[in-house]
Each structure stands twice: as structure tokens, then as C-alpha cells.
Amino acid sequence: MFWTVIDSPIDPLLLVGDETGLRELQMAPHEPPPAERDDEALAPVAAQLADYFAGRRLAFDLPLAPVGTAFQQKVWLALREIPYGRTTTYGEIATGLGQPTASRAVGLANGRNPIAVIVPCHRVIGANGTLTGFGGGLPRKRWLLEHERTVLAAKTGEPVATGLW
């Protein structure tokens, strides 16, 4: 296992990976794991994140290796299907997984997502259209959503939505 820390508009991010792929993306505050720092091994991740934050990347193409239960893995895969600049709800994800009564379980799996931003848990909102919990804090979630909407509006000419998410 190896790690690096990169700068971002939402504070320094800790990246942790191994030979299979990226395992974690943690927002500050964070503490590096008892492993070797290897900036070069995680350079492709850092480059794609830099492009994302600069508005040049709408999707990530990286080997990911998050550790979780079978259900968590299904939820994390579903999160990766949420289009850039768009949002969905826990209930919509649960329904999409064929388990319409599992919105709370989806919320728990979403909260345990170890690769925030790249596995876009920030794109999940409450059923009433409001921002809900985010491991990185609601100000970061709001920043990520506004960033994506602004970039998308610039690329498509669509106006930036305001009000409820």
C-alpha cells in the first residue's frame, strides 16, 4: 500500500492505493496510513483530479479498489452512474438496485464510500431535494455540486440551476 497528498480547492486530499487501484480518497483532516509515500504511483489519480477541479474532466477512468461489503460495492457502482452535474436520491438508488425499501441502507453505504469525489457520493441528496450528510462536510458537498453545475453549464450552455438541489 502507498499514499500521497494532493492540493485541491476543497483542501488537501489523501490518496491511498495499492497495485490493484485507488483504495481511498480522504478529505482533511486525515492521517496517512502506515505505508510508504509514493507520489509517482498515484500521479495518474492526481492528474485526473487536477483536471476535474479545473473543469476539464467530467468522468474518471481509473482502477478503483474500494474495500466493502457486496451491498456497499453495488451502491458504489450505482454512484458512478450518476451523471456529472446531476443529483439523485437514496430512494432512487435503492429502486435502481431492485430494493426500493433499502434507502436507509443505501444511505449508510453512501456514507462509507472510501473514494469520495471519484465515486460521487456528493451527488446524492435527500428525498425532499435538500443537501444531506456528507463525510467531507456540507460546505464541500455544496462546492462540488456547484462546481459541476457551473462547468456543465459552460460546456452545454444550460443555465445553472439554483434553489433545491
Task: Indicate which residues carry an active-site annotation.
Answer: 121
Q: At CB < 8 A and 24+ separation, what contacts does 6-9 make?
A: 6/46, 6/49, 6/50, 8/49, 8/53, 9/53, 9/143, 9/147
Q: Are strands 124-125 and 88-89 parallel, antiparallel or unpaired?
A: parallel
H/E segment holding residue 43: helix 43-53
Please report the DSSP string for 4-17 in residue order: EEE--TTS-EEEEE
